[in-house]
Amino acid sequence: MSEIIQDLSLEDVLGDRFGRYSKYIIQERALPDVRDGLKPVQRRILYAMYSSGNTHDKNFRKSAKTVGDVIGQYHPHGDYSVYEAMVRLSQDWKLRHVLIEMHGNNGSIDNDPPAAMRYTEAKLSLLAEELLRDINKETVSFIPNYDDTTLEPMVLPSRFPNLLVNGSTGISAGYATDIPPHNLAEVIQATLKYIDNPDITVNQLMKYIKGPDFPTGGIIQGIDGIKKAYESGKGRIIVRSKVEEETLRNGRKQLIITEIPYEVNKSSLVKRIDELRADKKVDGIVEVRDETDRTGLRIAIELKKDVNSESIKNYLYKNSDLQISYNFNMVAISDGRPKLMGIRQIIDSYLNHQIEVVANRTKFELDNAEKRMHIVEGLIKALSILDKVIELIRSSKNKRDAKENLIEVFEFTEEQAEAIVMLQLYRLTNTDIVALEGEHKELEALIKQLRHILDNHDALLNVIKEELNEIKKKFKSERLSLIEAEIEEIKIDKEVMVPSEEVILSMTRHGYIKRTSIRSFNASGVEDIGLKDGDSLLKHQEVNTQDTVLVFTNKGRYLFIPVHKLADIRWKELGQHVSQIVPIEEDEVVINVFNEKDFNTDAFYVFATQNGMIKKSTVPLFKTTRFNKPLIA
DSSP secondary structure, 509-546, as one string: TTSEEEEEEHHHHHHH-GGG----TT--EEEEEEEETT
Buried b (16+ CB within 10 A) or exposed e, 272-295: bbbebbeeeebbbbeebebebeee
| Residues 237 and 226 sit within 8 Å (Cβ to Cβ) | yes
- As a whole number of angstroms, the distance between CA 558 and CA 207 comes to 56
Please enumerate in sequence order all residues whose Cβ is within 8 A of that of 348, keeping only pairs 6 or more positions apart, or say none.
194, 198
Backbone φ and ψ of 508, nearest 5°: -100, 165
**CB 168 within 8 Å of CB 39:** yes
Q: Are 196 and 458 within 8 A, CB to CB? A: no
pLDDT of res. 131? 97
**Enclosing H/E stretch for 152:** strand 151-153
Q: How far apart are CA 480 and CA 211, in angstroms?
A: 11
538-562 as b/e: b if 16+ CB within 10 A? bebeebbbbbbbbbbbeeebbbbbe
pLDDT digits (tens, 9 = 90+) for 511-565: 899 889 888 888 887 888 888 888 888 888 898 888 889 999 988 888 898 888 8
Q: How many residues does the chain have?
A: 633
CA atoms 578, 584, 586, 589: torsion sign:
negative
Full set of structural domains in the chain with CATH = 31-158 (3.90.199.10), 242-321 (3.30.1360.40), 347-475 (1.10.268.10), 498-632 (2.120.10.90)
Spatial separation of the C-alpha atoms in residues 596 and 591, rounded to whole Å: 17
In the chain, which residues have pLDDT < 70?
A: 1-2, 16-29, 173, 424-431, 492-497
Strand partners, 324: 239
Q: How far apart are CA 395 and CA 399, in angstroms?
A: 11
- Is 32 in contact with 43 (CB distance < 8 Å)? no
Residues near 28 by beta carbon (within 8 Å), at least 6 away in sequence: 40
The catalytic residues are 119
Q: What is the DSSP string of 304-333?
A: -TT--HHHHHHHHHHHSTTEEEEEEE-EEE
Determine contact, residues 237/323, Cβ cutoff 8 Å. no
Task: Give the separation between CA 195 and CA 183, rounded to whole angstroms.
Answer: 19
